[in-house]
Amino acid sequence: MNLYRRVMLCTGLLALPGIVFAHSLENGMNPFMSGFLHPILVPAHLICLIAIGLLLGQQQPNRNLLALKVYPIVILIGLIATKFAVTVKLEIAILTAAMSIGLLIAVSPRLPVVWCAIAAAFTGLAVSYDSAQQAQTVITKISALLGVGVGLVVVPLVAMEFADVFRTKTWQRISIRILGSWIAASAFLVLALLFRSAKP
């Protein structure tokens, strides 16, 4: 494994130890860290981000430079848009995206580059727009949103590298497809629950 990939995997491992459930996000945690952990601690966001990362890794990152360029831009747009946030329930959209992307991972077709870019754009925009942070001061809010932005980039990046590294052997490719089916199945179940809750 080359140095770049080792660094990416290590980054992912180093980022994970921060998940200390003993503390609330408001107490004893700086706003940047609070924002960084937000995508990780919201399950719907987490599986969607992992799904898009696995998809891009499965479809080969070198082929999908368009998606890698579009993704951070839409995250920035989504985070800025939270300032003008109108309450929109995006959970259904995020879960639908996770389910769809999970199915694509499970089926593993060779997707056109534009499709991957669209999936990345939709995911980035939906998750970032759904990550509005409440804060008392402007500096705190900006710090938190910066943390969210970094988290929204790190999580799928690690997943993408994981999928890219683990695709040389057959069992590795199968494992990625199984992960995709798990994501799709879980998202589908929660969508069914939301549908049931929405029924009069």
Partner 1 sequence: MRYAKTFLLTVFGLLYTGMVQAHMGNGIAGGFGSGFLHPIFGWDHVIAMVAVGMWGAFLGAPAIWVLPVVFPLVMAIGGALGVLGVPLPAVEPGIALSAIVLGGMVAMAARPPIWFAACVVGVFAIFHGHAHGTELPTAANPLAYSLGFVIATGLLHVCGIGIGMLVRWPAGTIVIRLGGGAIALAGLGFLTGVV
- Burial category of 194 from C-beta neighbours within 10 Å (exposed 0-12, middle 13-18, buried 19 and up): middle
Cα separation, 16 vs 41, in Å, equals 11
- State the distance between the two ends of the chain, measured CA to CA, in whole angstroms: 55
- Least distance from partner 1 to the Cβ atom of residue 34, Å: 16
Considering only the stretches 81-89, 111-119, 146-154, 181-189, report the one whose residues sit in contact with partner 1 under the rule CB under 8 A.
Answer: 181-189
Q: Which of 1, 3, 86, 198 binds partner 1 (CB under 8 A)?
A: 1
**Under rule CB under 8 A, which residues in 75-104 are in contact with partner 1?**
95, 103
* 17 interacts with partner 1 by CB under 8 A: yes
Q: Which of 81, 106, 118, 146 binds partner 1 (CB under 8 A)?
A: 106
Interface mask toward partner 1 for 40-79; x: CB under 8 A:
-x-xx--x--------------------------------
- Least distance from partner 1 to the Cβ atom of residue 54, Å: 14
Q: With CB under 8 A, what is the number of residues at the site for partner 1?
A: 40
**Under rule CB under 8 A, which residues in 130-149 are in contact with partner 1?**
none
Considering only the stretches 57-65, 130-138, 140-148, 177-185, report the one whose residues sit in contact with partner 1 under the rule CB under 8 A.
Answer: 177-185
Footprint on this chain of partner 1 (rule: CB under 8 A): 1, 6, 9, 12-13, 16-17, 19-22, 41, 43-44, 47, 95, 103, 106, 162, 165-166, 168-169, 172, 174, 177-178, 181-182, 184-190, 192-193, 195-196
